[in-house]
Structure 1
């Protein structure tokens, strides 16, 4: 398990490119036939990447969790960013097409991932947080969440936001999760930027062409930095950091949050003119 320790905003000015990427960018989530696990001390979330090929693969608790099962004390939201596949939870199979989301609650013992076609594997992205109670496993297909249209073409940030796990949708203890897709010709996400001091957030960028990149803005509003992000790479965003980006083409991203509350609109906006 890859462990990322919590970072103070006062450390950011001293970090070079490699150090910044090492703290906040998860580059190798999807490895053929494997489950990759990255633990962040920011709200103790775990990012999971599963890419099943010729056989199903299981979600096993790393030794560092000191748990019998991965979800003994946790919950997880899973989005499939690859081809069609199946997630089986304690014997119940759920088929996830591209962009579908599955919530699995605390206490599930056996979670396995499989691809429908080994030639075109599924790629399951999971975001897990500690949980204090159990909510039922729930599948939401792509486009069936709470859909919000945001932004404008004139500001290059027209996008469709699909909320899956949230206070008025699929219930969870603290995970809030969804998918945003930029419209063709738009490149900016979440601008004007914001922070939310009560929750950390992680972005997984996908549907990005191989030769395209996203410049992801992070850091305090008055001490911003950027990460150059490729397809199917994730960014860990602490609660004190802005999280916004601009791509060289349109793209999608999974956003997921955990922390003190589940209010999607509880954010502290930062005007463009205030960024440095």
Structure 2
């Protein structure tokens, strides 16, 4: 397989005191991740939050191979990492370690440390997430039907939603990567409200399934120093451990959440009361 040279951007960690001083463009430069999906390319963002990598691969009829990424300091990206892949496009194929998986829209694939180069083919739009790993767990394709579903919220508070857990302790083992996505019921637009923080791990959101002219207002920052970013379809945002992460959309949407850090317990959060929010 011929290596596809990925386009890689860096996001350095920003502390909460510095974040308070940033204007809109400064916030977007530090936390916003646009243009992850480009036909015929692999695009990655290497963050200094728990060394999480987020990116996209769009084969567009020509196989793409992800192997060496200079920023990881290893010969192949998965030499000391694990990876989660979510297909947000049409049917496609992912191959690694001598195996291939057919992925439909919404399917999630887990690849372990040591799986070697990863090949993407077909009509898929593959969202890539990767974090450092300390051991190899079995590779596994998890379909939406196999995901654990948690229903939360209500229509009365505009946040009735189903949380689909894929790479998650209740579904399968991983080292530190936790991945799933949240789908809203008709008329609901608020995500992750009431808000919370989790200081033991960072998070990345990717918003998708949005109309071209739809937007999500993503809220971030310390609970008493909130800021917002305006997000379009297939745009991602990094959430530091000290930050809230919630939002409201102008229409229906789905968002993929991915976490890395000390604790994989999804319930390990510090809730923020409405009285604390500013």
Please classify the TM superposition score into its range, dividing by the shorter chain length: over 0.9
Pairs within 5 Å for 1:115-130: 115=122, 121-130=123-132
Partner of 1:87: 94
- Among 115, 134, 148, the alignment partner of 1:108 is 115
The 2-side partners of 1:229 and 1:202 are apart by 13
Superposed CA deviations along residues 39-78 of structure 1, whole A, max 9, x for unmatched, are 0001111012111112110112222222111100000111
TM-score, reference length from structure 2 = 0.96
| Gap runs ≥5 in structure 2 | 1-7
Tell me by how many angstroms 1:143 deviates.
3.0
Q: Decide which of 47, 70, 74 is 1:67's aligned counterpart.
A: 74
Matches within 5 A, 1:95-174: 95-115=102-122, 121-174=123-176
Distance in 1 (alpha carbons) for counterparts of 2:61 and 2:109: 22
Q: Which runs of 4+ in 1 moved over 4 A?
A: none
Structure 1: 5+ residue stretches without partners:
116-120
Map residues 181-260 of structure 1 onto 2, 5 A cutoff. Answer: 181-260=183-262
Note the alpha carbon deviations across 1:154-177, whole angstroms, 9 max, x for none: 000000111011112121000011
Match of 1:51 among 31, 53, 58: 58
1:182-224 alpha-carbon deviations (Å, 9 max, x no partner): 1111000000000000010000001011100000000000000
Shift of 1:261: 0.8
TM-score by length of 1: 0.96
3-state SS of the aligned residue for 2:26? helix
> How far apart, CA to CA, are the structure 2 residues paired with 1:34 and 1:91?
23
Q: Tell me if the contact between 1:103 and 1:170 (Cα under 8 Å) persists in the aligned partners.
A: no
Q: Which residue of 1 aligns with 2:47?
A: 40
RMSD in angstroms over aligned alpha carbons? 0.8
The CA distance in 1 between the partners of 2:150 and 2:197, in whole Å, is 20
Please tell me whether the aligned partners of residues 159 and 182 of structure 1 are also in contact (alpha carbons under 8 angstroms): yes
Question: 1:202 is paired with a residue of what secondary structure?
Answer: strand
Q: Secondary structure of 1:18's match? A: helix
8 Å Cα contact 1:196/1:240 also seen in 2? yes
Whole-angstrom CA distance in 2 between matches of 1:199 and 1:65:
20
